[in-house]
Amino acid sequence: MSLSKQQIITYLQKLNEELTKINTKGEICLYGGAVMCLVYNARPSTKDVDAIFQPTQALREAIKQVAISENLRDDWLNDAVKGFVVDHSQRVFLDLSHLMVYVPEPDYLLAMKTLAARVDGTDKGDVEFLINYLGLQTPAEVFTIIENYYPRQRIKPVTQYFVEELFEHDDPV
């Protein structure tokens, strides 16, 4: 399954409709590929929508209803990312009648994506995009951003090598 920018927006609007039916206001902060797709147009689609949300139970039910009505996987919007989220600033992406959708600032997204360091997937392209977007010139600048959010001991050697390799080429990232 792959979700395009327009599909994600449509499903978020349908989520708002579900919340309207039960007269509940919800908040979601999006992460990962969904943000890369929606905010930066850095890729055409994502396999799922990573988010944290509240009120949790009402949103889980609304997400399930959207999945049923749109023939989506139950986890099309999931909160599996919640164990990796630390305090960060965010901005409004969508302000709907019963749903506020937020996204993190690009430096935080870079820290999360780099820490994940899934170099064989789309994370590498996302990290390269964010490095360019933020105008970073050295691995040290990337590590400074990561350490603004996560303790140094959370940076695995594979992450360090991954970042250093991105800057080894003569061409800009």
What local confidence, expressed as pLDDT, does residue 13 receive?
98
Tell which residue, 38, 53, 52, 42, has the closest CA to residue 7: 38
**Euclidean distance between CA atoms 41 and 133, whole angstroms:** 12
Q: How confident is the model at residue 25 (pLDDT cuts 50, 70, 90)?
A: very high
What local confidence, expressed as pLDDT, does residue 17 receive?
98
What secondary structure letter does DSSP report for 84? G
Query: Average pLDDT in the 25-34 region?
Result: 96
What local confidence, expressed as pLDDT, does residue 120 receive?
61
Q: Is 98 left (phi over 0), alpha (psi -120 to 50) or beta?
A: alpha
Cβ atoms within 10 Å of 153's Cβ, excluding its own: 6
What pTM, to 2 d.p., does this model score? 0.91
Tokens standing for 4?
Answer: 């395009």
| Model pLDDT for residues 67-86, shown as the tens digit of each residue | 999 999 999 999 999 988 99
Q: Could you tell me the end-to-end alpha-carbon distance of the chain, in angstroms, rounded to an integer? A: 29
Rounded percentage of the chain residues whose pLDDT exceeds 90: 80
Are residues 76 and 47 in contact, defined by beta-carbon separation less than 8 angstroms?
A: no
| Model pLDDT for residues 85-134, shown as the tens digit of each residue | 999 999 999 999 999 999 999 999 999 999 887 656 678 889 999 999 99
Query: Average pLDDT in the 140-162 region?
Result: 92
What local confidence, expressed as pLDDT, does residue 79 receive?
95
Going from N- to C-terminal start, the domains of the chain cover 3-104, 107-166
**Euclidean distance between CA atoms 146 and 160, whole angstroms:** 11
What local confidence, expressed as pLDDT, does residue 173 receive?
52
Our measurement of the distance from residue 166's CA atom to the centroid of its chain's CA atoms, rounded to an integer in Å, reads 21
